[in-house]
Amino acid sequence: MDNFCVLPFVSIEADPMGKCKVCCLSYETIPDIDLKTNTLTEAFNSSYMNNLRQSFLNGEKPANCNRCWAEEDSGRTSKRMHSIARLRQIIGDQKFTSSSDGSLTFLDLKLGNICNLKCRICGSFSSSKWAQEEIDIYPNNQSARDNLVNGRWPRESKKFWEDLTQLLSSTKYFEFTGGEPFLIDEHFTLLEIAVEMGYASDIEIHYNTNLTTFPKRGLELWPHFKLVEIALSIDDIGPRFEYQRYGANWNKTIDNLQRFYDLRDTNRNIKLQLCMTSNVQNFYYIDEMCQWIAQQRFDYVYFNVLHDAWHFSIARLNDAAKKLIYDKLEKYSGPYAHEVANLLQFMMQGEGSDCSKLVQVLKNSDLQRNQKFSDHHSEIAAAIGYE
C-alpha cells in the first residue's frame, strides 16, 4: 500500500483548542469530540477514525491528507513518510489489516495556546499573546476572544487527564508543541506521573520550542526518559528572526542554544533538532539560513513547509515573488541544496495569489507593533506589493 499512513492506527492529536485530529496537517477535526468533555481514547475509537483507517487499508488517498500528497508530489518527504520511518523504530514492523488494529502509542499534545511570542506565521489559535493583539486590531473579532478562553481547556478537564494517565502504560511517544510547551506546567506534571509509575524509560519525547525558555523542571525529569528530542524553531537569523518571531531576542536565542548544546553534550538521551519553517518571509533568504545551519551542531535538521495560514505559504506567492525567489535560488549549490530545490518545486507547483491578504495582515501587525516589513525584508516586500 504505497499510500499507507501509520498515524491513524497509533496516534491522535489534541489541538490548542481541545479538538482532535489524526495529525497536525489534517484538514478536518474529529466530529463531536471536545476534550473539555471527551477523552483521547474516545477520539481514537470514533467512527471517523475507524473510517479513515479503512480508507488507508483500501489503498485510498483521503482528501483530508492532501497536504502530504502535495508535498510528496514536489519530491519532499511528507509527514506521512517521515512518521512511517520514525515510528517503525518504536512499534517495529507491526502489520495493520483491519480498522480495529492498533492502539494509542503516539500522542501529539498541544495543551492549550499559552505562549510568550507573537510569531508572524502564528495566530490566536496557537498563541495567547496573539489572541490579545488580534482583539486589539479587530475589536469585534469573536474568534480571537473565543481562542483566548478556549485555549485554557487543559486546566478545566479532569476527565482528559484521568484518561491520559491511564494511557501512560501503552504510550511510547509524546510530542509536545504549543503554544510554547515549556510554559505549560501541566505537561511537566504528566511527566512526573510517568516517572513515578515507572513508564518513563519506555517513552520518547519530542518538543517543538521557541527557544526563549530553559526549563528547570525539564532538566530534572528528562534523564528518566528513553529519548528527549528538542526541536528548536528558528526560521531566520538576526533582525529578520526578531521581526518574524516578535518578542524574541536573537542574542538571547543564541545564548539558550548554547545551553541546550551543553545539556545535550552531557546527557546521552538528549537530541537537538533544528526545525525551520519555510514561509513567504524567509524563503528568499534560505541560502543564508542554510549557511548558518551548516555551522551549527544540530543532531537533525528538518525543513518544514508552512500550509496555514495560507497567505504565508510560499505556494500562494504571486508570480513576481516566485520569479524573484526562483531566479535567486535555482542554481543554489550550498548546504542542503536538495531541500532548497524541493521547496522551490513546491512553491512553483502551488496555486498563487495576488498577495493582497498577506500585505494587509503584515501591515495590520506592523501598525500595532511599530514595525515595517520592508525594513528587513526589502526584496520580497517589493515583490508582493508592500509599500
What does the pLDDT look like over 274-286, one tens digit per residue?
Answer: 999 999 999 999 9
* Residue 116 maps to a domain: no
Residue 235 located in a structural domain: no
Model's pTM, two decimal places? 0.92
Whether 292 maps to a domain, the answer reads no
pLDDT(363) > 90: yes
pLDDT at 130: 92
Closest CA to 72 of 25, 28, 29: 25
Per the structure, the complete domain to which residue 59 belongs is given by: 1-101
Distances (CA, A) of 281 to 59, 240, 248: 37, 9, 16
Q: For residue 21, is it within any domain?
A: yes
Residue 85 within a domain: yes
The pLDDT of residue 11: 93
Higher per-residue confidence, 102 vs 302: 302
Beta bridge partners of 93: none
At residue 244, does pLDDT exceed 60? yes
Given this model, what pLDDT does residue 109 score?
A: 97
**pLDDT digits 0-9 by tens, 138-192:** 888 899 999 989 999 998 889 999 999 999 999 999 999 989 999 999 999 999 9
Helix (H) or strand (E) holding 319: helix 319-329
> Distance from first CA to last CA of the chain, Å, rounded?
50
Asked whether residue 58 is assigned to any structural domain, the reply reads yes
Give a yes or no: residue 322 inside a domain.
no
Q: What percent of the chain has pLDDT over 90?
A: 83
Run of H or E residues at 245 = strand 245-246
- What is the distance of C-alpha 316 from the center of its chain? 19
Count of domains forming the chain: 1
State residue 1's pLDDT score.
54
> Could you give the CA distance from residue 128 to residue 366 in angstroms, rounded to a whole number?
19
43 lies in a domain? Answer: yes
